[in-house]
Every structure is written in structure tokens, then in C-alpha cells.
A and B are shown apart, each in its own frame.
Chain A
């Protein structure tokens, strides 16, 4: 086994174990942290495949931003574990069916001849910039799909904000422009007083 294999199996084992942890952890915060670990080790595997841009972006976006907000929400939830486990056996067949379907899909996709064998990938020199290549591809060959995806994301963001935006009457908010406009003379009156006579 070469060094490459050792590192690969190390990261792969951690990823799978962390994935299991996400499912079996009783505490939702622990589950979220296991997911963070899974992302980090998946990034390690991508790094091994010389996809350094994608690997670092995975850590930056999913670990650094998405999971932080996730954790933020999960920590504030008051979760009743007993209630959560109530319908476990009732839903178990459905869940098992879904899991089986996903395993089948994965085998089908990964086993197909279209998926190139990873061991055949070209090993690039150390100064080869993955980022530049990806940028060039995204903004030339795949510019329309990329732009469409960006517009869809923007629409989703606007929609999410519009859904949660509610105007309640009688809420006290600051008017920043008015605050900035305020002058000392409008609010403050300096009164010069004579000192009290000595007793």
C-alpha cells in the first residue's frame, strides 16, 4: 500500500464513521459536529485527487458558513428526544426502502463505465493551477449553465427573504438617516448659570 492509499483509506474511514455518527448521535449538536467532520475529511479526499480549489471551497462554504448557521439553529432548538423517537418502527420500512434505493443508485452510477477510473487521472505538476482552469471552464464553456444557476440561487434568496419578511405595526426601529442628520444645536441647549452666592 502506497502513501496515497494509506491517506485515502484514513480519510474514507473517517468520512464513513462521521456519516454514521450524524445518523446515530442522540444529541443534534453532536450530529451537526459529526457532519462537520464528514465535510472536512471529504475535503481531504478531494485534496488527494488534486482538486484543491473544490476541497478548500467545501471547507470554506459548507464548514465555515453553512454548518455554522446550522449549528446556530440546532443549538437553540429545544428538542424532546423521546417524542422524536416515537414513530421510529412505524417509519422504519419506509426509511429502509429509501436507503436501499440510494445504495442501488450509488452502485449503478459509480459502477457505470462512463465514470472514469480514478487511478487513470492525469497527475499534474505542483504548479498547475486548478483554480485558473476551473475559472476558465466556468466562464467560457459552461457560462450559460453557470449564469442560470446563479440566477436561480438569487431568486431563491429573494424568495426566502420575502417569505420571512413581515411588517408589524408599532415596531420601534431606528431611522439611521435621521440620526446622522441630527445636529448638536437641535438637541442641546447650553445654559450659563450664575454661581450660587456663598453662604
Chain B
């Protein structure tokens, strides 16, 4: 606890804890929303450069005010509610996409001290929260009373349920290696004198790939964006949404991307730990790793064509799930031998 806050704490009495927690939530959600806004700009710029274009460069210097302009544009637009739609569910669906994407941040540690809730079952909580995001998508598709939206919702539901299993098993190996469900403990389990050789990416490399690819699939990003599939089903589940309601889907998707990037760096890339032993551990390493993983997301989008639906299901069920189950057994056996160094 910081000393200079003590007088305020005494002044507020029992109201201190909720107010202080609300402040901490603001401190996480505010920068997160900023990061989401600038991730959209980064995406357009990076993909632009990869395709030998310039990307947005008109609003502000180097297009830096573009996200602001986009946000204002979406705020000013009319929200059209289709006739024959289920109004309550139609309005609440975007909220249900964004809610779990934000709630999951409660247990994410930024460095050894900075975490909102240092809970023991953190990994389980993250899994539970990310599995709730699919409801918004399904409800949006159903409540829109539109065939395209409904098709997108069905595709998304099947896809997310399939990839969640592979993702869950990948996390099982991580918790076997770390012997804890606490995200902070998982990072501390990767501490050691060999820098990046102590990270779980070394013994769990196949799981790292499975988790990263499943993360791309879970967030409905290209090449797994069959739920949107703009060339097949227009825009999938959010085709009937406009204005701020559409923007909430957008925010949810990008917040989820950043979350997956954070989780990948916490569980496999050593979180805030330094990659070499002569440099100090710092939150900057965390952000660097997250930025790298996010860059991979953008890179995938610019590189790979969209999966066909049956190929996507095959990859999830017939490739990833068997690999993860085998690796759970391998890690379990490996940990009983003296050659387990992590």
C-alpha cells in the first residue's frame, strides 16, 4: 500500500475498498481501451505495409488520430434495430461479448506486484470467462432474425466449443509444469538463472503452438474468421449491427486478442521475466512480448487465406486434441524423470 493514500483511506472508512477497487479497475480498463483503439490502427498500418500500401495517413500525423475519428463516427451513427428481431437480446448481445473480455482482466498480472485480484484459481477463471464470450455471438446471430447472422452464429458456436478443448488441454500442461493455477505463480515458475531457457515455451513448445493457434480461432480472427466470412456470409453474426453496437463487438474482439497475447506471454514466454539473466525483470518485457504476439496476429491475417469450414473442424478435433492429449502424457512422464529441468 502506498503511504500517501493513507489519509484518504481513513477519511473514507468502509467505503475505501470499493472505491479503491473501482479506481484500480479504471486503471486497467482505460489503457486497455486505448490499446484496443491503437491496435486497430496498428493492424491497418501493418497490413498496409505488408501489402505495399501506406495505410491510414490522413487524420493527424501518420494517421495517429484515425482511431479517434473512427470512434466518433461510430458514436454518431444511428443504431438500427431490425424489425422482427428480439429487441432486448439484440441490444444486450454486444454487451455480452464485451463483458467477459473485460472481466477476464481481473486476474491478469502485469508484473510481480501489479494485479487486480491475485486469486489461486486464476487460470480456471480465465478459461471460464473466455468461454462466456460465445454467448454474445450466438445471441446476436439469433436475435437479429437474419439468415446470414444466424449462419455466422452457428459457425462461431461450433468453432469456439471445438477449440476450447484443445486450449484447455494446452493449459493443463502449463499447470502441470507450474503446479499452480495462479497466473503469478506460473510466471514465477519460469524464473531461473538461464533466462529464456527457463520459460515453458521450451518443454511445452507444441502446446505453445496449439494455444496460439487456438487463441486465434477463439477470437474469430483470420484465418479462422469463418464466423464473419465477409465473402461468404457478408459479416456473419454482426451483419445487422450498426453504430456503437457494432463498435462493442469490435472492442470485444480486440480486447480478447490482447488478452490472448497476455496469456501467451504469461504462460509460455515468461511474463515480465527478462529473456537474458543480466537484464532486470520489468513490466516492459511483458509489453514487448505482448506486442510481439499481437504482431503475429496481424501477420497471420495478412498472410493466410481463410480456412474452409471442414478443414477447420478437422484441425481442431483430429490434429490439436490428439496432440495435446499426447503431450499431457509426455509431460507427466517427463516430470517423473530427473531430466525435467523447469
Binding site for B on A (CB under 8 A): 29, 33, 36, 52-53, 56-57, 59-60, 63-65, 68-69, 71-72, 75-76, 127, 129-131, 174, 176
Name the residue on A nearest B308 (C-beta). Answer: A174
CA distance A63 to B120 in the complex (A): 21
Summarize A's interface: helix, strand, loop or mixed. helix
- Interface residue total, chain B, C-beta cutoff 8 A: 26
A69 and B161 within 8 A (CB): yes
User: A89 vs B134: C-alpha distance in the bound complex, in angstroms?
Assistant: 38
A56 touches which of B121, B135, B150, B157 (Cβ 8 Å): B121
A residues within 8 A CB of B124? 53, 56-57, 60, 131
Name the contact of B132 in the complex, choosing from A57, A63, A71 (C-beta under 8 A).
A63
The answer to whether B121 touches A68 (Cβ under 8 A) is no
Cα-based distance from A59 to B164 in the complex (angstroms): 14
| Complex-state Cα separation, A72 to B150, whole angstroms | 10
Chain B residues near A176: list those with CB within 8 A: 314
- What 17 new A-B contacts, CB under 8 Å, besides A59-B131, A71-B157? A33-B89, A52-B120, A56-B121, A56-B128, A57-B128, A63-B131, A64-B164, A65-B131, A68-B135, A68-B161, A71-B135, A71-B138, A72-B154, A75-B154, A131-B124, A131-B181, A176-B314
Do the beta carbons of B120 and A60 come within 8 Å of each other? Answer: no
Label chain B's interface by main secondary structure. Answer: helix
B121 touches A75 (CB 8 A): no
Q: Determine whether the beta carbon of A33 is less than 8 Å from that of B139.
A: yes
Task: Give the A-B contact count at a CB cut-off of 8 A.
Answer: 68
For B134, the chain A residues whose CB sits under 8 A away are 64, 68
Give 1 or 0 for each of B15-46: 1 = CB within 8 Å of chain A CB: 00000000000000000000000000000000
Residue numbers in A under 8 Å from B181 (CB-CB):
129, 131
**29 A-B residue pairings within 8 Å (CB atoms):** A33-B89, A33-B139, A52-B120, A52-B121, A56-B125, A56-B127, A59-B132, A60-B124, A60-B128, A64-B128, A64-B134, A64-B164, A65-B131, A65-B161, A68-B135, A68-B138, A68-B157, A68-B160, A69-B157, A69-B161, A71-B135, A72-B138, A72-B157, A75-B138, A75-B142, A75-B154, A130-B120, A131-B121, A174-B310
Q: Which residues of B contact A (CB under 8 A)?
A: 89, 119-121, 124-125, 127-128, 131-132, 134-135, 138-139, 142, 150, 153-154, 157-158, 160-161, 164, 181, 310, 314
Bound-state CA distance A171–B125 (Å) is: 43
Across the interface, do A64 and B154 meet the contact criterion of CB distance under 8 Å?
no
- A131 CB to closest chain B CB (Å) equals 6
Q: Which residues of A contact B120 (CB under 8 A)?
A: 52, 127, 129-131
